Chains A and B, each alone.
Chain A
């Protein structure tokens, strides 16, 4: 069953582009990554799912029900961590968490203590006095305290130190094992690569690629570096499937996607001194997607 189904979702802010014709599904128990640079439309998509803003056209379903029409009911099973956490200043952490828990019809007090323990969060401090990272921790506990079946996270790790990031990811993986579906947006590829099963890449409001992480990495992308013995025409390797082409004196490097034979033939036709063929990491593929087509 698909937990999230997004159909032709489009959002304009007046004339300004938010997202255009977004389509993707997130399956049950999947960890789905949503990556793109700032302003690409990640938060817009997530906020539309949560009914904070309304779509211009298109629709989205959560657990098979329209996310706007059945919003309040659906939100019982959703935990959300916004990219920037702001809370009622004069409250203590524990008061805020209890207030949050009061919206769900279950006792969350033990869970709050457990989560605060894992995230190393002092419950008796005032929220005003917390650092950015600690506010983020409050957000994490607040988003998970009712054991939601769907966890939506908007750039969850910004502000967390590496140790806390590690614990947070372990926490998410634990929730996932218990059956939670996770959708999270990020512009940090390392964490997406580490956590997610599938990933959608969004750019300027449109989904430009949707694939399994493993497929993205493997899908015939090769990072190739050739050292030639003689000088070579700048555009010698500029054939179909080559991107990020860089020529530095006798060293040529590029990304290649396509039939490996064609590039090998090309390489064999020239006199080479050395050759490196590597699996590119996601970052490099990603940069390639982001470069504006010139």
Chain B
């Protein structure tokens, strides 16, 4: 329990900053939407003329930017990206920080097993993810409702946030697994960020090039896409199962390697 409280305190400031960041992101984007919707038809025309590849890179895809749900669908990609970066960095650092800050000779000589320490740290990380997710959910609902003009968006947003939470979990455990395996505490974060960028780029590349659609299983960003989640298709079982498997394997890797290896002291 003490390790959990310590981690919550240690991550408090960062979590507040990330939450403010997410809120500002949504607020400023929705401010832009106000301007956009005021200009009416011209935006839709403009978008129609925009090349498909540019739209793919901006994450706009097939969304109708003149409706608030379409606009939010585009925004979601950026929110998911922010949440994924947060989760990755948190996962890698929460495990490797004791070695990085050379506090392992303090913590690991206490009467507590390594696996228990990992468990408490993971719980703290999960609570952090959940808080960021809820902040995103609540600010989205509050800010988007202003512009929704009767369009029912709460259900859509909630579904998107659920998808985002699974995405957060995957990236959190990518971070912890790398930190568990890596003997050099500083490398875990850079590798984890590398994987994050790669999967993100891959998801854009798939939008640009239909021939590599099959690679969509390699990038979690494709598992929970706004256009599917807001569509009638909802959550696809294949992606849920895949996510569950990935998370289970990554958790196992985190524990096994971290318990078996020499600590970097």
Q: Hey, which bits of chain A sit against chain B, CB under 8 A?
A: 13, 47, 50-54, 71-76, 78, 80, 82, 84, 86-90, 99-100, 102-104, 142
Given A52-B265, A53-B263, A102-B2, 10 further pairs, Cβ under 8 A: A50-B109, A52-B104, A54-B262, A72-B112, A74-B111, A76-B111, A78-B109, A86-B102, A87-B103, A103-B110
Flag if B111 contacts A52 (CB, 8 Å). Answer: no
Interchain CB contact (< 8 A) of B108 among A51, A74, A84, A102: A51
Instruction: Say how far B211's CB is from chain A's closest CB, in angstroms.
Output: 44
> How many Å from the CB of A95 to the closest CB on chain B?
9
Closest to A84 in B: B102
Q: Chain B residues near A72: list those with CB within 8 A.
A: 111-113, 116
The smallest beta-carbon distance between B187 and chain A, in angstroms, is 17
Q: Does residue B236 face the partner (Cβ distance < 8 Å to A)?
A: no
B151: interface (CB < 8 Å): no
A100 to B103, CA, bound (A): 12
- Asked whether, in the complex, the Cβ of B103 is within 8 Å of the Cβ of A88, the reply is yes
Chain B count of residues within 8 A CB distance of the other chain: 20
By the criterion CB–CB under 8 Å, are A103 and B112 in contact? yes
Chain B nearest CB from A144 CB (Å) reads: 13
- Which residues on A sit within 8 Å (CB–CB) of B105? 47, 52, 80, 82, 86
Instruction: Return chain B residues, CB-CB under 8 Å to A88.
Output: 6, 10, 101, 103
Chain B residues near A87 (CB-CB < 8 A) = 103, 106
Contact A80 B263 (CB under 8 A): no
Q: Give the residues in chain A near B260, CB-CB below 8 Å.
A: 54
Cβ-neighbour of A99 out of B6, B102, B104, B111 (below 8 A): B6
Interface contact B113-A71, CB-CB below 8 Å: yes
In the bound complex, residues from chain A placing their C-beta under 8 Å from that of B263 are 52-53
A100 to B105, CA, bound (A): 12
Query: Whose C-beta in chain B lies nearest to the C-beta of A101?
Result: B2
Kindly list the 8 A-B residue pairs having the minimum CB-CB distance in the complex, ordered from nearest: A86-B102, A53-B262, A103-B110, A82-B105, A102-B2, A75-B111, A76-B111, A72-B113
Nearest Cβ on chain A to B259's Cβ, whole angstroms: 10
* Whole-angstrom distance between the Cβ of B72 and the nearest chain A Cβ: 38
| Residues on B facing A (Cβ under 8 Å) | 2, 6, 10, 101-106, 108-113, 116, 260, 262-263, 265
Q: How far does the alpha carbon of A86 sit from the alpha carbon of B98 in the complex, in Å?
A: 10
Q: Are B106 and A142 neighbours in the complex by a CB distance under 8 Å? A: yes
Within 8 Å by CB of B2, from A51, A89, A99, lies A99
A80 to B109, CA, bound (A): 7
Q: Which residue of B lies closest to A72 (CB)?
A: B113
Closest Cβ of chain A: how far from B223's Cβ, in Å?
36
Q: 19 interchain pairs (CB within 8 A)?
A: A52-B262, A54-B260, A72-B111, A72-B112, A73-B111, A75-B111, A75-B112, A76-B111, A78-B109, A80-B105, A80-B109, A82-B106, A82-B265, A86-B102, A86-B106, A87-B106, A100-B106, A103-B2, A142-B106
**A29 to chain B: closest CB distance in Å?**
22
Tell me the bound Cα distance from A216 to B79 in angstroms: 70
- Residue in chain B with minimal CB distance to A83: B105
Interface centre among A50, A71, A72, A142 (most CB of B within 10 A): A72
Chain B nearest Cβ from A158, distance in angstroms: 15
A residues within 8 A CB of B116? 72
Q: How far is the CA of A21 from the CA of B109 in the complex (A)?
A: 24
Closest chain A residue to B102, Cβ basis: A86
For B262, the chain A residues whose CB sits under 8 A away are 13, 52-54
The distance in angstroms between the C-alpha atoms of A87 and B102, with both chains bound, is: 8
CA distance A13 to B262 in the complex (A): 9
Contacts A80-B105, A99-B6: A75 and B265 contacting too (C-beta < 8 A)?
A: no
B111→A103 contact, CB < 8 A = yes
Chain A residues within 8 Å of B103, by CB: 86-88
Question: Closest approach, in angstroms, between the C-beta of B257 and any C-beta of chain A?
Answer: 13
Please give, as numbers and ranges, the residues of chain B lying within 8 Å of A99 by CB-CB distance.
2, 6
Is there contact, CB below 8 Å, between A52 and B108? Answer: yes
Task: Return the chain B residue nearest A49 by Cβ.
Answer: B109
**Contact present for A104 and B111 (CB under 8 Å):** yes
Nearest-neighbor residue (CB-CB) of B116 within chain A = A72
CB B105 to nearest CB in A, in angstroms, measures 4
Min CB distance, B116 to chain A, in Å?
A: 8
A75 in complex: contacting residue of B6, B10, B101, B109, CB < 8 Å = B109
Contact A86 B110 (CB under 8 A): no
Q: List residues of chain B with CB within 8 A of the CB of A100.
A: 106, 110
